[in-house]
Amino acid sequence: MSETTEALPTKITMFGADWCRDCVRSEALLNSLNLDWEKVDVEKDPSAADRAQAISGRLSIPVVHFTDGTFQVEPSDRELKAKLEELGAI
């Protein structure tokens, strides 16, 4: 987990795609926790993949960008939940 030079998101933002199994899994976890978060589909938004890469420095998805400026790339459910607990989101 690292910090990014991108502007801090006002809510948790996940960059992903519907065909990505890790994205679907992370999205299901975020939804199950009833969080206010934003999904950015890299297939539907031509600039989204570039934004995700600018945040993470990688081409992999999902990229979950947190309100404290940190991010996770391809997090496990355990890693994602731990970060959400650290932020006090859950």
Residue 10's pLDDT is 84
Residue 3's pLDDT is 57
Domain 7-87 has CATH 3.30.465.10: no
SS3 string of the chain? CEECCCCCCCCEEEEECCCCHHHHHHHHHHHHCCCCEEEEECCCCCCHHHHHHHHHCCCCCCEEECCCCEEEECCCHHHHHHHHHHHCCC
Per-residue pLDDT of the chain (90 residues; tens, 9 = 90+): 555 555 677 899 999 999 999 999 999 999 999 999 999 999 999 899 999 999 999 999 999 999 999 999 999 999 999 999 999 998
Sorted by where each begins, the domain ranges of the chain are: 7-87
CA pair distance 72, 60, nearest whole angstrom: 10
Question: Which pTM value belongs to this model?
Answer: 0.90
